[in-house]
Amino acid sequence: MAFDDREHSQLKTLSIGKEVLMSSISSGSWLPTSTDLGQDGAESAQCHTLDLASAAKSSLALLAACSPDSNETPQDKDIQDLTAGPTAIDPIHSSHCDMSPPPTPRATANTGIDTGNCNPGPLSIPYNKPDYNTGSVTYKYKKRRIKLITATSVGDDRVSCEFSFGRYTTFYDDELDIKLHACLVGECSLRTKATVCFHARCHETRLYSITPAFLAATCYTYNPSLSEERRRARYIQQALVYNLQQARLWPRELPTELWTMVAGLLLEDCAAFTAQEQLSECDSAEEYTIDLTQPVYASYVKIDGRVYVKNLRNTAKAGVKGGSHVMLLSPGMYADENEGKDMFVAEDHLGIRQIIFASPKRCNEWCRSHPNTPGAWWKHLSRGDIRSTVAIRSDGFKIRDIEGGRKGSLALVPRIGWQVPVSVSPTIIDLLTLKIPEENPSNLRMRFFDCNGPHTTGYFVATDGARTLAILSHEQDQLVDPSSFEDVNAPICFWIYMPIDKGEYLTDICRRAGSLTVRTETIGLTFSTNRGRTVVFGLYGNENVDFRRVAALPHTPCRVYFNQADSSGRHNVELIALENGSAAINQDNIPSLPASVSHYPYTQSNEIWIHSSCSMRHLTSVHACVDKSAPHQPVIGMLLYYTDGHRESVGQFRLDWSIESITVREMDRLYICGKRTKQNWGYVAAATTQPPLNQAEGCWLDVAQAGLLEWWFSSRHSVLFYNNSRLN
């Protein structure tokens, strides 16, 4: 089986290389060995890895044989690989290690312990606290059987009894005489002491005590995306399969398909064991400074196929833990030459992935051709912030953060993580106030979408009806990446598609704000084009809504940044920045909002409805969008094509859920079938040009190629109107 590890292409950027040196270990033992591999550069980064492929005489040895740390090809062996190590195996989230199928809870982090009088409160994980990546499978939140590990004042590892984990619950342990209170917030007035909770099974199979150093090294700064966790799972499983096949310890050979099944059952155990073993000897967390007037050397560690900066030093010490170093910065003849470097830092939820020093004169050029670092966010430290030193914060295993060393400078202000490197940060605007925020929140990460490009064919906007969650642009012939749609982490998520015709471009982005409950908040965005079209991404209703222009866009290509939902405690898009164009300009000649022809389909006062409509004249084809995640697989929207090349979208639409198109001839009619779920919620079951043979099966809407089709939808219903006829 050929093991594919494309992430190692990053090693060429890091200039690491030479040959492989591997040594085996005795059965059942987990000891690090030295490796030094690759032929990609003049510098060498000799690091530790785990070679466990020779051990297979016990259950622990079987896990050792499955360790993905011994699977690399020669070009892969240039850094310490902890594939099943501190962040080993979670297709979605970490810190939940039970083997049951998804969904599972989101995180395991600190919860509050109240040893005094305490009102009943939730016992769960603070959503704005980081995860601990120790190997597990998690998708969505649900109750678990977990065991809470408490750190007492006497220093012993006392353990609570097992209890059922649930949000908004309080548990009292009679033996320990403590009350366990989880509030799901970072700060709680009822909290007297914080602790960490684990699955009972994870705690039972631990090799060592869970120390603060272990938690610090495996702590998530933020929740990684679903696509990143799936990549991680695929990487580990491929590695395990490869090592199982190469172990040569089995009575007979097995096909790859069977080894894949075996590896799938070993992922979490291998992850947990290897993480504990590898981190049992990691250094203590430290903070130190680096002198940029001296040479700067970096060593690297590879975790789950991702390269991280292990440490930065002013001297290259051979033979130390972490191996030899790669020179990142070479001092010039004069000290001021080194003070003139800008620093770009790529980081993710576990630490620093890459560090680049760039001359100010070449920053723009470098940003346009920066190295590909999937899943990382780029921070920029300008030469004025750096001066001659930078402050380094390490968790003892890898570098977590870098700050400029100049006191009183903007370097000490929380830095913004950008999806791509930016030499000059665009001005950020608060969507609600349309003003520049007084200060940037910590852990703010800014995504982007490109608009008005020559090949742009449309825009996807994710909303729960009341909030904007994400924005994507789509280009002609662009391959569909399902993870782009799946990465949005929200209990309710509608993807609305706005097609763009040839010669059409966006002119305005506006926001709608209103009060849904108590406070005023942003409740949706609108995009308007040069052809007078305006699409509303959010709930319907124009009364008591504050409608303002956010940005006027140029005809030329431009990039629009928006905050990553769930970053810095923001669960929706609240901030926006433009690379080009004018933000928060005057409010004259704001585009008008579209109005519905049909009446609002009232069900209950707090149900949010979204409205869309399209012309039914001169159709050529229809693409239906089917919700493949629902058991009854309803049609949730349609993309319609017209004879003049125009396209319109109604309902929800995702490219990865679109089915084969229906050809519509000149005299054809469209027949749309509506049915109801067991809860009596209406949905669209089918759309066809063939007259129904049995109209008693469901309700049918007969749509001619004339007039207007309106599609209302909420999180439970779909209601269609055509010529005063209602479906559902």
State the pLDDT at residue 376.
96
Tens of pLDDT, residues 434-479: 999 888 778 899 999 999 999 999 999 999 999 999 999 999 999 8
Nearest CA-CA partner of 358 in 380, 376, 332, 336? 380
Contacts of 257 (CB under 8 A, 6+ apart): none
Q: Helix or strand or coil: residue 611?
A: strand
Nearest CA-CA partner of 125 in 170, 182, 179? 182
664 exposure class (CB count in 10 Å sphere: 0-12, 13-18, 19+): buried
State the pLDDT at residue 293.
85
- CATH number for 610-727 (one of 3.10.620, 2.30.30, 1.10.287, 2.100.10): it is 2.100.10
Percent of the chain with pLDDT over 70: 71
Q: Tell me the C-alpha distance between 355 and 344, whole Å.
A: 6
- Asked whether 724 and 703 are in contact (CB, 8 A), the reply is no
**pLDDT mean across residues, the chain:** 76
Give strand pairing partners of 179.
114, 172
Two tokens, residue 282 = 């990691």
Q: What is the mean pLDDT of residues 241-248?
A: 88
What is the enclosing helix (H) or strand (E) of 226? helix 226-246
Q: What is the mean pLDDT of residues 381-398?
A: 87
pLDDT grade, residue 584 (50/70/90)? low
Percent of the chain with pLDDT over 90: 44
Q: What is the mean pLDDT of residues 543-554?
A: 90
State the pLDDT at residue 67.
41
Q: What is the DSSP string of 281-349?
A: TPPPPEEEEEETTS-EEEEEEEETTEEEEEEEESS--TTSTT---EEEE---SSHHHHHT-EEEEEE-S
Q: What is the mean pLDDT of residues 218-224?
A: 89
Q: What is the CA radius of gyration of the chain?
A: 28
Tens of pLDDT, residues 71-129: 333 334 345 454 433 333 232 233 332 323 333 333 333 333 333 333 332 223 333 34
- Asked whether 192 and 116 are in contact (CB, 8 A), the reply is yes
- Region(s) of the chain under CATH 2.100.10.30: 428-583
Please give the distance of CA 599 from its chain centroid, rounded to a whole number. Answer: 38
The least confident of 440-454, 506-520, 604-618 is: 506-520
Q: What is the mean pLDDT of residues 402-418?
A: 67
Tens of pLDDT, residues 642-683: 999 999 999 999 999 999 999 999 999 999 999 999 999 999
State the pLDDT at residue 470.
96
pLDDT grade, residue 359 (50/70/90)? confident
The residue assigned the tokens 């040839």 is 502
The least confident of 79-88, 141-150, 686-695 is: 79-88
Q: Pick the residue with more confidence: 187 or 490?
A: 490
Tens of pLDDT, residues 266-325: 888 877 787 888 787 788 889 999 998 889 999 999 888 899 999 999 988 765 554 567
State the pLDDT at residue 54.
24
- Asked whether 84 and 69 are in contact (CB, 8 A), the reply is yes
pLDDT grade, residue 250 (50/70/90)? confident
State the pLDDT at residue 146.
53
Q: What is the mean pLDDT of residues 503-523?
A: 85
The residue assigned the tokens 């209602």 is 726
Q: Highest mean pLDDT: which of 68-82, 144-158, 331-345, 467-481?
A: 467-481
The least confident of 171-185, 343-357, 499-513, 698-712 is: 171-185
Cα-based distances in Å from 320 to 48, 152, 283: 10, 35, 12
Q: Pick the residue with more confidence: 133 or 377?
A: 377
Q: Tell me the C-alpha distance between 711 and 496, whole Å.
A: 12
- Asked whether 550 and 429 are in contact (CB, 8 A), the reply is yes
Residue 35 has pLDDT above 60, yes or no: no
Residue 68 has pLDDT above 50, yes or no: no
Fold that domain 428-583 belongs to in CATH: Vitelline Membrane Outer Layer Protein I, subunit A (2.100.10)
Compute φ and ψ for 331, nearest 5 degrees. -70, 150
What is the enclosing helix (H) or strand (E) of 587? none
Residue 630 has pLDDT above 80, yes or no: yes
Two tokens, residue 81 = 């690989």
- Asked whether 670 and 687 are in contact (CB, 8 A), the reply is yes
State the pLDDT at residue 716.
93
State the pLDDT at residue 657.
96
Q: Pick the residue with more confidence: 529 or 406?
A: 529
Q: What is the mean pLDDT of residues 206-218?
A: 83
pTM of the predicted structure, to 2 decimals: 0.78
